[in-house]
Amino acid sequence: MTKQEAVSYILNIPKFTKKNSLSHTRHLMDRLGVTGDEFHIIHVAGTNGKGTVSSCLASILTESGKRTGLFTSPHLIEINERICIDRKPVSDEEFLNAFHMVQKAAEELVNSDESYPTFFEFIFAMAMVIFKSNAVEYVVLETGLGGRLDATNIFEHPDLSVITSVGMDHMQYLGDTLEQIAEEKAGIIKPNVPVVCDASKEVVWQVLRKKASEKHSKIVPILKKEWKEYEKKEKTIDFSFVSSYGLGQEKTRHHITLRTIAPYQVQNTAIVLRALEQLDLVASEEMVQRGIWLGQLSGRMQEVFDGFYIDGAHNEPGMKAFLEAAAGQKGKKRLLFSAMRDKNVNRMIELIETADCFEDIVVTTLPYERGMKAEEIAAGFTSVTNVYVEDDFSEAVRRIREPFEGTSYCAGSLYLAGEVMKKCRETGS
């Protein structure tokens, strides 16, 4: 089987299986010989920011000399992006070898009258097999959805739990209030394992604090008052944060430069720095700065070429953060927007209209079954007249990349971010 055939197989798994219990995932790992005790595990959940926090933590661990595995989702262009070792996506050969191992174990489960693994279980199992075969020391695991019932939540003794910003998303699975969603995220808190969390929303903080108390786990909150006013430059943001990261260090004010124009990355980075304090790790200021600089995830307010930014905002809190970043830029602006139909598209449109910062808005249809039709998206705009429908995705990308005396953006979905990046790569820019 080729790598392409393996990917096709994995992507089609949802068509013939269902959501499984955590005990099912444990049985799969047992057959693969993975216990979790082989690694130092950092488990990261949250509505927004968990990908960036996971990537930066893994990058800093790599800089400090630790062989580090990173499991994230979704991927933007190549599925290998979900499984990285020391910042590099695994090779096609490693990917294919792990695929065959997990496929064999999955078939053994079915022969034992158990369900076939889900898509997420399958790719997660592949990651753990690859990490074990490469003698990875640290593993940073980003949850896929929620936390309590997420396949990544099978390991009982992580070194650290991290919960980033919690907001309204995936309500059909996690609940329709912040309290309910926070309860699901809090499901990753383990007995006597420290947890670092965003505490900017009181209702979320109360849920997380209660759960940590029940588990006898130290909880370390992050509040906005903990970092100093930042200086936003043309392509970067400078801020300072008092932290004692690095084994045996006293609290010191550290100055950090972020390779982004997005203010929301300051909070994510503060979570990263506070998380480092909880690890038995020696990390110099240079290691941390370089780790953060190189650990920025693609598709998060990323300038893919001069004057064109891609952001994966796909829910209400993400869209608010994106619009804050875009509004902070000078000059004229235009937006390419699309979304998946299972998201709260009308709320994202409402926020875009309220921001009123785009000269033109191009809406298109994502080339996915879940993609919302461009005409439906356009119909949601009621107070903006400069909305143009371009159902053909390639034409929409071409249009947003036409010469423009200002800044262009795309937002609305990580899938949109990935497809636009793919088109840019195909055209060599």
> What pLDDT score does 55 carry?
97
Q: pLDDT grade, residue 229 (50/70/90)? A: low
- Is residue 73 domain-shared with residue 199, that is, in the same domain? yes
Same domain, 314 and 172: no
Which of 221, 242, 269 is the last residue in one of the domains? 221
Query: What band does 122 get if pLDDT is binned at 50, 70 and 90?
Result: very high
Question: Are 164 and 58 members of one domain?
Answer: yes
Q: Same domain, yes or no, for 199 and 325?
A: no
- Residue 345 clears pLDDT 60, i.e. is over it: yes
Q: Is the pLDDT assigned to residue 243 strictly greater than 90?
A: no
Cα distance between residue 369 and residue 403, in whole Å: 31
Asked, for residue 243, whether it belongs to a domain, the answer is no
**Does residue 313 sit in helix, strand or coil?**
coil
Residue 248 has pLDDT above 70, yes or no: no
pLDDT of 119 above 80: yes
Residues 177 and 33 in one domain: yes
Query: Do 158 and 42 contact (CB within 8 A), yes or no?
Result: yes
* Chosen domain end from 202, 221, 240: 221
Task: Assess contact for 226 and 251: CB atoms under 8 A.
Answer: no
User: 51 pLDDT exceeds 60?
Assistant: yes
Which residue matches tokens 């960036």?
52
pLDDT in tens, 188-214: 999 999 999 999 999 999 999 999 999
Q: Which residues of 278-309 are buried (b: 16+ CB within 10 A; e: fewer)?
A: bbebebeeebbbebbbebbbbbbbbebeebbb
Q: Cis omega (within 30 of 0) on the bond before 74?
A: yes
CA–CA separation, 11 and 323 (whole Å): 32
- Return the CATH number at 382: 3.90.190.20
Q: Domains in the chain: how many in total?
A: 2
Higher pLDDT, 296 or 338: 338
| pLDDT reading at 338 higher than 70 | yes
Whether 253 shows a pLDDT value over 90: the answer reads no
Q: Which structural domain, as residue segments, surrounds residue 87?
A: 3-221
Do 173 and 321 share a domain, yes or no? no
Residue 170 above 90 pLDDT? no
pLDDT higher than 60, residue 429: no
Pair (214, 335) in one structural domain: no
pLDDT tops 60 at residue 216? yes
Could you tell me whether strands 237-243 and 231-232 are parallel, antiparallel, or unpaired per DSSP bridges?
antiparallel
Q: Is residue 32 part of a domain?
A: yes
* pLDDT reported for residue 423: 86
Has residue 313 been placed in a domain?
yes
Residue 247 has pLDDT above 60, yes or no: no
Residue 251 DSSP one-character state: P
Instruction: Give the contacts of 94 (CB within 8 A, at least 6 positions apart).
Output: 130, 133, 134
Asked if residue 260 is part of any domain, the answer here is no
Query: Does any domain span residue 400?
Result: yes
* Confidence band of 306 (pLDDT split at 50, 70, 90): confident
Determine the pLDDT at residue 145.
86
Neighbour tally for 388: CB within 10 Å: 15
On whether residue 244 sits in a domain, the answer given is no
- Rounded to an integer, the average pLDDT of 106-134 is 96
Domain of residue 35, CATH code: 3.40.1190.10
Q: How far is CA 417 from the centre of its chain?
A: 13
pTM of this prediction?
Answer: 0.92
CA dist list (Å): 54 to 59, 96, 252? 9, 24, 23
pLDDT band for 265, please (50, 70, 90 cuts).
very high
Which of 115, 152, 149 is closest to 39 using CA atoms? 152
Nearest to 161 by CA among 195, 205, 199, 212: 195
Identify the pLDDT of residue 298. 87
Question: Would 296 be classed as within a structural domain?
Answer: no
Return d(Cα 140, Cα 43) in angstroms, integer. 6
| Residue 200 vs residues 16, 153, 223, 276, 387: alpha-carbon distances, Å | 41, 24, 6, 20, 35
C-alpha–C-alpha distance, residues 40 and 52, integer Å: 19
Residue 96 predicted with pLDDT over 80: yes
| DSSP state letters, 319-355 | HHHHHHHHHTS-SEEEEEE--BTTS-HHHHHHHHHHH
Domain final residue pick, 194, 221, 248: 221
Mean pLDDT score of the chain? 92
- Are residue 79 and residue 188 in the same domain, yes or no? yes
Structure tokens at 191: 């007995």
- Using CA atoms in the order 191, 192, 195, 201, what is the torsion angle rounded to 10 degrees? 60
Crossing angle for the helix pair 393-400 and 414-426, to the nearest 10 degrees? 80
Q: Which of 38-42, 62-66, 144-148 has the lowest mean pLDDT?
A: 144-148
248 inside domain: no
The pLDDT of residue 424 = 81
Question: Of 189, 271, 263, which is closest to residue 223 (Cα–Cα)?
Answer: 271
8 Å CB contact between 366 and 416: yes
* Cβ atoms within 10 Å, residue 369: 7
- How many Cβ atoms sit within 10 Å of the Cβ of residue 339? 28
One domain, residues 209 and 313: no
Q: Do residue 201 and residue 106 come from a single domain?
A: yes
203 and 321 part of one domain: no
